[in-house]
Amino acid sequence: MLMLVKTAAWIAFVGLACAPGVRAQRGGLAAADVARYEAAVGAMRAGAPRQAAVELRALARRYPANFAVAESLGLAEGRTGDRAAAERWLKRAAALRPDLALAHDNLGVAEMAAGHVPEAIEEFQAAVRAQPDDFEGWNDLGQALAGRRELRAAVAAWERAWRLRPTSAVGYNLALARHELGEDAAAAAVLGSAPAFAADAAAQSLWGDVEEGLGRYQAAIGHLQRAQALAPSEAHVFRLGLELLRHWTLPPARAVLEAGRRDYPASVRIGLALALTEYGVGASDEALPLLAQVLEQAPAQPGLLDFLGAVCAGTNAGTAACGRLVTFAAAHPHNGAAAAYAAAVAIERIVRAGGAANTAALAPAHALVQRALALAPHLAEAHLQAGQLAAAEGRWPAAVRQLEYAHQLRPADDRIEFHLAQAYARNGQAALAQAALARHQAALAREQHAFDERYAAIQAFVVQLK
């Protein structure tokens, strides 16, 4: 996402000396009214725009063709929050003096504030036509164009502004737009040309992304570390940890993200990145509780429920972290997938404890399965757990029916194939059991690949969170 440094603003209050030929205009101000005008300007500068607007409205009624009055009244109305009035008076001023870049600049800012971006672009373009060295016009034009994702045109405008006045804000926006366009060498040239960026945390963070785009991993880490040192923040620690994770520099990533988790415990993206790092170093016992915490913090996080459900489907079901899936399902009674994964944990625990023959012990699992089937009738996991529950109770024909439907919904799933083979065997269907067992063996390697794909998908999502 393009996150620009916003610099578009009213340029200045117009003094009579700033409007060439204003005294020669039709309706020039009388001496006493010049004093009233300057008093209004003073009130505006003193932070009293409403007082200024009252005086300027009176002058505007007397001098409807005076540019300085119309322009200043438009600015005063803008400061009071009356955007419609500001736009109306600034339009009048621009019509009175179309040769002045300042008039078009201020009107463009008013149009932007009103959400009239095409009109704002036209005004900024008129400003730079009237005055090709108008820094504010080029800068504001770049921002308006970038807001419409017209990045190539925005870059051209900011290049002009950068040559006129190489401010940090313009340089940052120019480098960011270049980076968004994939022109990281040009972005790095901009960032390297301004000494001020060495002490600018936002610029250092962007510079890290630019170096990553150029394939200079060590340089990227250096800039991201500098950003965090200059301005410690959740965003900077996440980006640094992510850069380390992205290149499988896992021990340093773990250290950075663990510190970030302590400092920013509410950060979902840091928690998710740390969980992935723990998986990467083989510390699943640490990863599971983190995944459960993040799921509770962000229940709508794409792919996370399915990933945690898959992790908890087997031997991990007995862990406290996987037990939180049952709590999660209770807290989200309209989530069919949550009910299905919670049922998987509940059934696995009951079977392992030898309580499959205990009707009372199976009651919570029955409730979860029924809810999952009602809310998500075409979810393979729901039918898999319905089959598992029927198998635990020795209802083999029912188990076969549910597992066959789960197989139709999710073919080549090794868990479904395994349990279906068992159900066929116990139901006296030996040939079908052999076929399902063969499919199970073939699916095992694919399932690990699918798990890796789910891991990679979540990792890719974390990268997008930057």
Least confident span in 28-37, 40-49, 343-352, 441-450: 441-450
- pLDDT score recorded for residue 28: 78
* pLDDT over 90 (residue 158): yes
331 half-sphere exposure, CB direction, 13 A CA radius? 11
Long-range own/partner contacts, residues 57-65 (CB < 8 A, 24 or more apart): 59/29, 59/33, 60/89, 62/33, 63/27, 63/28, 63/29, 63/33, 64/27, 64/92, 65/25, 65/26, 65/27, 65/96
All CATH 1.25.40.10 domain ranges in the chain, comma separated = 315-466
Kindly state the percentage of the chain with pLDDT values over 70. 89
pLDDT in tens, 240-294: 999 998 888 889 999 999 999 999 999 999 998 998 899 888 887 888 899 899 9
315-466 has CATH 1.25.40.10 classification: yes
Average pLDDT over the chain, rounded to whole? 87
* pLDDT over 50 (residue 156): yes
pLDDT in tens, 97-122: 999 999 999 999 999 988 999 999 99
Residues 6+ apart with CB under 8 A from 184: 178, 210, 211, 213, 214
Least confident span in 27-31, 55-59, 176-180, 245-249: 27-31
- pLDDT score recorded for residue 104: 95
Q: How confident is the model at residue 360 (pLDDT cuts 50, 70, 90)?
A: confident
What does the pLDDT average to over 41-62? 94
DSSP character at residue 100? -
Higher pLDDT, 446 or 69: 69
Assigned CATH for 166-230? 1.25.40
Q: What is the pTM of this model?
A: 0.72
- pLDDT score recorded for residue 10: 40
* pLDDT over 50 (residue 5): no
Alpha carbon of 274 to those of 62, 291, 308: distances in Å? 68, 9, 15
